[in-house]
Amino acid sequence: MNFSFATGDATKAKADVLILPLFDTDLTSKKGQPSAWAKSDQKLRGLLAKLAQQEGFKGKAEQTCVVQTHGKLGVGRIMLLGLGARVKFTPEVLRLAIGRGIKAANRLRAKTAVVQLPGVRELDSSLQALVEGSVLGGYRYDKWRTTNADEKRAPRVEKVQLLLPDGVAKDKSMDATVGIAKAVGEAACLARDLVNEPAGTMTPTILAEQASAIAQGGGLEARISGRTEIEGLKMGMFLGVARGSVEEPRLIHLTYTPAAAEHASRPPVVFVGKAITFDSGGLSLKPSEGMLEMKTDMAGSAAVLGAMKVVARLKPPFPVHALMGACENMPSGHAYRLGDVLVSRLGKTVEITNTDAEGRLVLGDVLAYANELRPAAIIDLATLTGACIVALGPWVAGAFGEDDQLMWSVLEAARASGEEIWRLPLTDTLKDVLKSDVADMKNAGDRNGGSITAAHFLKEFVGDTPWVHLDIAGPSNVSKEKGYMARGGTGFGVRTLVEYVRRRTAELEAVVEAPAEG
């Protein structure tokens, strides 16, 4: 999708569709109304307002209304998108609305669109949301479709002309905003592709190849380790999970190093992603229905890879590492058993009480490895527990960690990027659940507080390093389409990680630029 800025009169712009987001008050009062609305209505001799009224379009969130212009305007159609109440506006409202708009425009076979940026206070983040929402809304996963090829070949919105609010002049920073927003949207689409790909063609080996390709494209260092090297690293928990599958495990390590030596020597930020390419449950086999979506159990690593692609472009003034332990969790004669004791990289021993609690085992070893990089912060993303979906519903991720400063940075980044993440407690009352009779701990507790016990398990492997664990089991993949999201992988986490990096960059640069006191 290509973006440019439109200048002048919206009614003269040439495009298949003019997309006009409107607040509910825009239908009843002229104050704050975009001039594109009045001008279009005028050229259509009042038919726009009349039709909107007849169709019951009141600018409510989730409302859409399409009007044919019959050659009276440069655009073939006008699409009104409800934004709801102005007081409730956030850039995410716009991101969702435009995603819906682009989906509808694609159904209309539109190839070009003029999109009005509403006049709001949060102009920069709204422009970002508009571009991200457009890219994400245009996403489709049809790689494997051969029938209905017409649909696959059908035209889609490829060119978007952005129309600035009345009275706002274009400046240079807007090009940069659009550029980054487009990169972020595309990175989230890449994450979606990785998640949506069937497990048979997204094996640990293929995931590692994809990671290498991303690294190569962005000038990052990629280090891929196979079974022998993982054995050398004594990652007994990772190897235990991987044992049941004929697919070789892969330890994926991407590194971004800043060019300047004084930046390269700063403590790194490490992103860790769960990368179970298929989670059958192992010998604690999942029921068939639950297993169907388990090709998405590498969504954490998909988000991390998407974010790294943008990091390579942003070039922050501190190193960023991405680590993922990729393997399959399968039952077989080689599989790890219930009652087995695994020895982790840290030396801690773990009694296996459920082979379906595999994510924490792999992550435990990878987090211990991450910690050896002496990082300033570790953020892990994992489709870790069904319990997190029970707790927060399918659209919200859970956050765990005891470093309040890092936690707030991550939550603020999430809020700014429109991804909903809520903190859950690492309560001491659930610490004993993982006590084992035979080893240092066991890998699974009971159902109660399941995402909290999982987080407690991970915590054993990160030492004192500031760390946040994001359980993205719900929002990484959705069964209902909504706004800019299609069914399947969402790319959840990419936006938060990128925003975190941008904020950390701004903080570090502010410290450098601050005038000396005295």
Q: Give the binding site for ligand BES (CB under 6 A).
A: 279, 297, 354, 356-359, 383-387, 444, 450, 473
Nearest approach in angstroms of CB 430 to ligand BES is 13
Answer with the entry of ligand BES, Zn ion, Mn ion, none that 385 interacts with (C-beta below 5 to 8 A by kind).
ligand BES
Contact between 26 and 59 (Cβ < 8 Å): yes
Bridge partners, residue 377, by sequence: 269
Answer with the entry of ligand BES, Zn ion, Mn ion, none that 471 interacts with (C-beta below 5 to 8 A by kind).
none
Q: Does 359 bind Zn ion (CB under 5 A)?
A: yes
Which position among 243, 360, 495, 504 bears the catalytic label? 360
Q: Choose which of 26, 297, 351, 460 interacts with Zn ion (CB under 5 A).
A: 297
d(CA 204, CA 209): 9
d(CA 310, CA 487): 24
Answer with the entry of Mn ion, Zn ion, ligand BES, none that 444 interacts with (C-beta below 5 to 8 A by kind).
ligand BES
With CB atoms as reference, the residue minimizing the distance to Mn ion is 356
Q: Does 471 bind Mn ion (CB under 5 A)?
A: no
Beta strands in 243-285 (DSSP E): 250-256, 269-279
Bridge partners, residue 399, by sequence: 423, 470
Contact between 269 and 501 (Cβ < 8 Å): yes
- Largest Cα span, the chain: 82
Q: Choose which of 41, 92, 186, 356 interacts with Mn ion (CB under 5 A).
A: 356
Q: Does 279 bind Zn ion (CB under 5 A)?
A: yes
Nearest approach in angstroms of CB 234 to ligand BES is 23
Nearest approach in angstroms of CB 366 to ligand BES is 15
Nearest approach in angstroms of CB 389 to ligand BES is 6
* Cα separation values, 250 from 52, 197, 239, 327, 420, Å: 56, 18, 10, 7, 31
Contact between 280 and 331 (Cβ < 8 Å): yes
- Does the annotation mark 286 as catalytic? yes
Which residue type is seen at 158? E
- Does the annotation mark 431 as catalytic? no
Nearest approach in angstroms of CB 397 to ligand BES is 12
Q: Which two tokens stand for residue 91?
A: 């850039």
Contact between 419 and 493 (Cβ < 8 Å): yes
Closest to ligand BES by CB, 311 or 470:
470
Q: Does 351 bind Zn ion (CB under 5 A)?
A: no
Q: Is 1 helix (H, G, I), strand (E, B) or coil?
A: coil
Nearest approach in angstroms of CB 383 to ligand BES is 4
Which position among 140, 223, 234, 286 bears the catalytic label? 286
d(CA 225, CA 263): 27
d(CA 257, CA 517): 31
Task: Give the interface with Mn ion as residue ranges (CB under 5 A).
Answer: 279, 356, 358
**Active-site annotation, residues:** 286, 360
Task: Give the interface with Zn ion as residue ranges (CB under 5 A).
Answer: 276, 279, 297, 359
